[in-house]
Amino acid sequence: MTTQSSKGAKVSLSRNRGLIKSTLVAGLITSTMVLMTACSSGSSDAAGSAASPAAPAAEATAAAPSAAAPSAAASEAPPAELTKVAYLMPWVIQGEEAGQFAAVEQGFFNDEGIEVEIVPGGPDARAGALLASGSVQFAVMNPAGIYTNRAEGIPVVGVGGINQVDGLLVMCKTSTGIKSFGDLKGKKVGVWLGGGEAGFQAAAVTEGLAVADVEWLPQKFSMEEFFNDAFDCASATEWNEKHIVYKEGYKAGVDVVELRPADVGLFLPGDSMATLESTVADQPELVQGMVNATLRGWQWVCSSPENRKTGAQYTVDAAPDLDLDLQVIQVEEMCSLMAQGPAKAEGAIGAVAVDSWKQSADATLAAGQLTEPADVPSALTTQFVDAVPAEYRKITW
């Protein structure tokens, strides 16, 4: 087993019930970069046994295998061949992906006849381009990304939900005087361009501002600009950057104000499972297996404190430079986000709620990332989530 930091180039982890080959996406600009590493698996046929010549009854009874206890060779069947799939994560290895790692480690993908290669995301990982090129077959992305890719001609479709709320927020130091999205006029706000800004921009518009009224600046995938006062406000996630800020000694409501699109009535879905329309049409059983195993992995992780820590540990095993305590916090936040909204009402994770996706489409349009309204029904399907066994979706936390 070879491991390197998630900030390095590659991490390969061979598991007894599954396979993780994690390739950190670094400097990827075009859709032609292939991230998959072919994995070959051999199979063996059970050897047949030749009939022995006639012999005296006593010798035959002693030598022949009993009908009640067949030989090992005769009872072994060739292992079923697993379908190999590359599965792109929304970011580098961290607790946000604990459910997918658990699905590998617990053998849930194998149970569906799938061998999954987990491919970490990153600032240069373009999910739509990677799907279109065949470098990956499935990806975790938010609805805004699905809509913008479809507008660019890449037929991505959402096949399952993970987070019912996207978990993005804006953090502003109280010294700026900012208390709401309506106070952002003329301010510098750091955002993760390519989808991460849509909800914030829509919230500003809801509060009566124009998108151009705010100086939206590209933010590093850290809180460096926040700490150095380069921005008035910075983007953060519920499961990561928010906790990094408070770990540095800042206090919520005293030193920092948190702004969320939900504050102005915008509830936008986050991490969602996606693939190409052609995969849905040509390999529905594969899509169903991926949705089944992903939700089963998250249900298993969230179902108990012990499993949450184990899920976090799986990510640390894959990227040893990670802080386990922080990954546990990430898992806790993920379990909360996936049990909100439509999932809470249904008592089951994984919902692809059309109303929520429509709200996301409206926010993406309002933010100027779309030039015309998205065709929401074409961008998602509920058929696979609806067919997931109930025990894989049940909220028990």
The long-range contacts involving 73-82, CB below 8 angstroms and separated by at least 24 positions, are 73/46, 73/47, 73/49, 74/46, 74/48, 74/49, 75/46, 76/46, 77/46, 78/43, 78/44, 78/45, 78/46, 79/41, 79/43, 80/113, 81/41, 81/43, 82/41, 82/110, 82/113, 82/114, 82/115
DSSP secondary structure string, 101-144? HHHHHTTHHHHTTEEEEEE---TT--HHHHHHHTS-SEEEE-HH
Domains, the chain, in order of start with CATH, read 83-164+270-392 (3.40.190.10), 168-264 (3.40.190.10)
- Mind spelling out the 3-state secondary structure of 310-322? HHHHHHHHHCCCC
Question: How do beta strands 168-173 and 233-237 pair?
Answer: antiparallel
Cβ pair 199, 268 in contact under 8 A: yes
pLDDT at 259 > cutoff 60: yes
Cβ pair 385, 291 in contact under 8 A: yes
> For residue 290, which phi and psi values (nearest 5 degrees)?
-65, -40
Instruction: Report how far residue 352's alpha carbon sits from residue 274's, in angstroms, rounded to the nearest whole number.
Output: 11
Nearest CA to 332 among 368, 308, 350? 308
Query: What is the dihedral sign for C-alpha 195, 196, 197, 203?
Result: positive
Under the banding of pLDDT at 50, 70 and 90, the label for residue 75 is: low
pLDDT tens, residue by residue, 362-397: 989 988 889 999 999 999 999 999 999 999 999 999
Under the banding of pLDDT at 50, 70 and 90, the label for residue 16 is: very low
What's the full length of the chain, in residues? 397
Helix segments in the chain, DSSP class H: 57-63, 72-75, 98-105, 108-111, 127-133, 143-151, 198-206, 224-227, 241-247, 277-282, 284-302, 305-318, 324-337, 342-346, 354-366, 376-379, 383-386
Instruction: Report how far residue 249's alpha carbon sits from residue 224's, in angstroms, rounded to the nearest whole number.
Output: 15
Does residue 3 or residue 218 have the better pLDDT?
218
Range of weakest confidence among 7-21, 137-151, 260-274, 276-290: 7-21
Mean pLDDT of 283-299: 98
Question: How do beta strands 233-237 and 188-191 pair?
Answer: parallel
Range of weakest confidence among 210-214, 263-267, 282-286, 292-296: 263-267
Under the banding of pLDDT at 50, 70 and 90, the label for residue 12 is: very low
Range of weakest confidence among 50-59, 143-152, 289-298: 50-59
Under the banding of pLDDT at 50, 70 and 90, the label for residue 33 is: very low
Nearest CA to 204 among 268, 271, 260, 147? 260
pLDDT at 24 > cutoff 80: no
